[in-house]
Amino acid sequence: MAGYVVVGTQWGDEGKGKIIDVLSEKADYVVRFQGGNNAGHTVVVDGEKFVLQLLPSGVLQAGTCVIGPGVVVDPKVFLDEIDRIEKRGAKTDHVIISDRAHVIMPYHIEMDKIRESVEDRIKIGTTKKGIGPCYADKISRDGIRMADLLDLKQFEEKLRYNLKEKNEIFTKIYGLEPLDFDKIFEEYKGYAEKIKHRIVDTIPIVNKALDENKLVLFEGAQAMMLDINYGTYPYVTSSSPTLGGVTTGAGISPRKIDKGIGVMKAYTTRVGEGPFVTEIKGEFGDKIRGIGGEYGAVTGRPRRCGWLDLVVGRYATEINGLTDIVMTKIDVLSGLGKLKICTAYEIDGKIHEYVPADTKSLDRTIPIYEELDGWDEDITQIKKYKDLPVNCRKYIERVQEILGCPISVVSVGPDRSQNIHIREI
């Protein structure tokens, strides 16, 4: 069997979509195991850009694409995305959805907007797409699942109960108008009709593929530092985008995972609120953002940019048990002069080589940097590792040494062809 997992090692936006697309050429299945349409994966094929939200990034090449039990699905977004890429010539008849995946409802989106607007509440910087409230209902055992859309009587009962509770909150606490049951029921009844042929029990399908030695590629959204358990809580997502999240999010044994592939940008970015130890503010940070095109694939929000944080990198490597790292966007560093990598944190006079749980302490953290010489050459058309500038290779090799994990692939541009394979994954 060959179970490959691709995860982000920073705060997302590392280029997982591109790497999954490349690997999916030889994959029999690509399985998305968590997150929702708050994730934006960009795939560039022959200069043509595809921005995917719910669909697995392997949809353009892989055999079967699975939206797993750990994903939360907005049916409207799913259908819009299917329609959008079909109009561009892509096929989607190989996309299936787990009957255990939870459904994002209009009241989840409304609650998300409210929580981000309440004055005294910590602003997380969510995309306001209902992901967090949907996961909250899942954990409190009030969620509606895809299986419920196949039984309209059961769906009606659950919707009526949930909407009664949510409308109490909307009207009595926030002074808003109640949501209309009939309107929502009819809308989702229509969605159910359009997607019912895709809703199946994906667990035996995925496990059978692994048992038959098919290549199954598991795709996470977001990244390590947005993990609900190990990220910069509370500035995190509501699921586990780590390698460990695969077992619960896809329904497989950890013994069926052969490779953990971490995608790491050659510098660091994050979107939204929360601590960012190596952030570069001002003109130089803006310059990196401009060169790297660092704007959210779904929201268009500008990403905060900073030097490569290898305290975060080591943390991600260890927790995920990575076997390989793919370094992306190293071409962005060309011509920037001296480069810095963060190797440790100084907090209140003490040196830390691990990410602390206390998010507040990160606000007063001093990054300890190691400085390396940069390079000026354009590397976007280079195909072989030995042809990279000497200082570029020194940068990659120093990062690899600190992480204790091989960097197997280096991406030197956005297209699926712009990769240098140092060792086979």
- The candidate with the shortest Cα–Cα distance to 305, out of 342, 332, 269, is 269
How far is 339 from 115, CA to CA, in rounded Å? 39
* Cα→Cα distances 183→160, 187, 192, 257, Å: 12, 6, 14, 44
Residue 404 assigned to a binding site: no
Residue 259 assigned to a binding site: no
Residue 273 assigned to a binding site: no
Residue 202 assigned to a binding site: no
How far is 261 from 117, CA to CA, in rounded Å? 37
How far is 91 from 59, CA to CA, in rounded Å? 8
Residue 301 assigned to a binding site: yes
Positive/negative CA dihedral, 316, 322, 328, 331: positive
Which member of 13, 74, 309, 324 is catalytic?
Answer: 13
What are residue 98's DSSP bridge partners? 200
Residue 302 assigned to a binding site: yes
Residue 40 assigned to a binding site: yes
13 a catalytic residue: yes
41 a catalytic residue: yes
Residue 329 assigned to a binding site: yes
Residue 6 assigned to a binding site: no
Residue 303 assigned to a binding site: yes
CB 311 within 8 A of CB 330: no
Which member of 108, 128, 129, 138 is catalytic?
Answer: 138
Which member of 21, 41, 259, 324 is catalytic?
Answer: 41
Residue 297 assigned to a binding site: yes
> Dihedral (C-alpha) 208, 212, 214, 217: value to the nearest 10 degrees?
40
Residue 141 assigned to a binding site: yes
Residue 236 assigned to a binding site: no
Residue 323 assigned to a binding site: no
CB 249 within 8 A of CB 70: yes
108 a catalytic residue: no
Residue 413 assigned to a binding site: yes
- The candidate with the shortest Cα–Cα distance to 277, out of 39, 14, 11, 40, is 11
End-to-end Cα, the chain, rounded Å = 15
Residue 237 assigned to a binding site: yes
The CB-based long-range contact list for 351-359 (8 Å cut-off, 24+ gap) reads 352/311, 353/311, 353/314, 354/311, 354/314, 354/315, 355/225, 355/232, 355/311, 355/312, 355/315, 357/233, 359/232, 359/233, 359/234, 359/235, 359/274, 359/275
Residue 127 assigned to a binding site: yes
How far is 275 from 289, CA to CA, in rounded Å? 18
Q: Which residues are documented as binding site for IMP?
A: 13-16, 38-41, 127, 141, 222, 237, 301
Binding-site residues for substrate, in ranges, read 297-303
Binding-site residues, in ranges, read: 12-18, 38-42, 127, 141, 222, 237, 297-303, 329-331, 411-413
> Which residues make up each annotated binding site for GTP?
12-18, 40-42, 303, 329-331, 411-413
Cite the annotated binding site for Mg(2+) by residue number: 13, 40
* Positions marked active-site: 13, 41, 138
